[in-house]
Amino acid sequence: MSTLPRRVVVLGTGGTIAGSSDDASANVGYTAGTVPVVALLHHVTPPAHITLVTEQVAQLDSKDMDVATWQRLHARCVQWLSEPDVAAVIITHGTDTIEETAFFLRAALHAAKPVVLTCAMRPATSRAPDGPQNLRDALAVALHVEARGVLVVAAGEIHGAADVRKVHPYRVNAFASGDAGALGYVEEGQVRLVRNWPPAAPLLALTAEAIARPAHAWPRVEIVVSHAGTGGGLIELLIRERQDSRTGAADGLVLAATGNGTLHHAIERLAERAHAAGMDVVVTTRCADGPMVGVTSSSYFRSSPYSPVKARVALLLRLLALQK
């Protein structure tokens, strides 16, 4: 009996993995998002029964990632994952916001098949690019018989979307998953799992109609960091915008607290005012590792186990789901 041909879809969004420079020694100072996704696969050879299909969803530097691109990615993932002969989706992405895009997809997408985001810290024109190996590793993970969920693969490590974060500005091994640790490793093309694959079900119950709402109609959520000497002026500005009923005024506020959820007294006072003005307030820790312990919801905020940028995505989607 012959093996049923299967496809793996590679969605390109730009980033350093698709970056270029006239100087092959330049690992910084290049232009991100210039090489088409189809060209990134020249050094990737799939198994004989697998066909790689490419689609250019976007071509941008991931520091400029936006809701409209998230919407297109979500729609294309839903479409491709529904095809019976599609084994998995791989997404090439910039490193700066890959953790946010991965978390968005983890929260909003049912991924019974693997959705593997990968990236690079060196541009495609580098003398020693890391993108080709990351793509080969992403393909190995995508084709693992038990793989599921939204994953990030880089530098031989497999990370879950809920835990992964960028922890170094320029090293090749720039990602970590904090206390949880990596899900596994790719070693000479073989996957070695040390934790369970993440769940396939989305974190939030969102309708396709809600996700498809025009990007300008999505809620606005801002992050404010509690730090020594703060005066809270940013929160005062957000409150004033809501009180003046300005278009695009913030609907939610994530407070990146010091330590175990502690807030500067000015931030604390103004956060209560922000809640009274109609903003949904979430508190998380600005610490790199470990969740807050014993910090529960209060009269004016809810706590979050996620990093500040992921807590923002979670609140953004929660507010989106509540929109009429």
Closest CA to 76 of 141, 148, 153, 11: 11
Torsion, Cα of 298, 177, 91, 9 (10° steps): -110
- Four-residue CA torsion sign, 101, 91, 25, 166: positive
Q: Return d(Cα 162, Cα 103) in angstroms, integer.
A: 6
Largest CA distance in the chain: 71
Residue whose pair of structure tokens reads 């409150």 in the numeric block: 239
One DSSP character per residue, 213-261 reads: S-GGGS--EEEEE--TT---HHHHHHHHHHHTT-TT--SEEEEEEBTTT
Q: Return d(Cα 133, Cα 41) in angstroms, integer.
A: 10
Find all residues with CB under 8 Å of 312, minimum gap 6, and list them: 221, 222, 223, 252, 254
Catalytic residues, by residue number, are 16
Q: Return d(Cα 215, Cα 11) in angstroms, integer.
A: 20
